Amino acid sequence: MDAFSNYDLLTASTGRKVAEGHKASFCLEDTSCDPGVRRRYACTAHTQGLSPGCYDTYHANIDCQWIDVTDVSPGDYILKVTVNPGFQVQESDFSNNVVRCDIRYTGSYVQAHNCRITGY
């Protein structure tokens, strides 16, 4: 799968895309789960998937887990994360696949707040 999720950095004022990234996927697994939820999928067992209440998490130093903001000016932005953008993974509900967060970028650090599921 070329991209399991897309990361778009949009200007807060116009919604214009100023930077982007994506998560390339080679295996989906239940890395961790909410309390009381059992892991069902593991790449080492050759079973792929994500169970409800579980997460496929990665360390920040793994390639394709970030957006390059080298040429982005400090300011207010929106981070739009779209999971399963090509609808290649079967789901019971696609309406919760887009999250938007308000971003303040100072040139030295990024602060995210007001994250919400938007559906678009």
Q: Are residues 68 and 46 in the same domain?
A: no
- Domain total of the chain: 2
Phi/psi-derived region of residue 119, left when phi > 0, alpha when psi is between -120 and 50, beta in every other case: left
- Comparing 2-11, 56-65, 92-101, the range with the smallest average pLDDT is 56-65
Handedness of CA 45, 47, 48, 50 (dihedral sign): negative
pLDDT reported for residue 85: 85
Token pair for 30: 């239940």
Handedness of CA 57, 60, 61, 65 (dihedral sign): positive
Stated pTM of the model: 0.81
Q: Are residues 113 and 69 in the same domain?
A: yes
Q: Which domain holds residue 84?
A: 1-24+64-120
pLDDT reported for residue 60: 72
- Say whether pLDDT at 34 is over 90: yes
Q: pLDDT tens digits for 53-86?
A: 999 887 777 777 788 999 999 999 999 999 888 8
Q: Are residues 113 and 80 in the same domain?
A: yes
- Say whether pLDDT at 120 is over 80: no
Q: Are residues 17 and 32 in the same domain?
A: no
Average pLDDT over all residues of the chain: 89
Q: Are residues 91 and 72 in the same domain?
A: yes
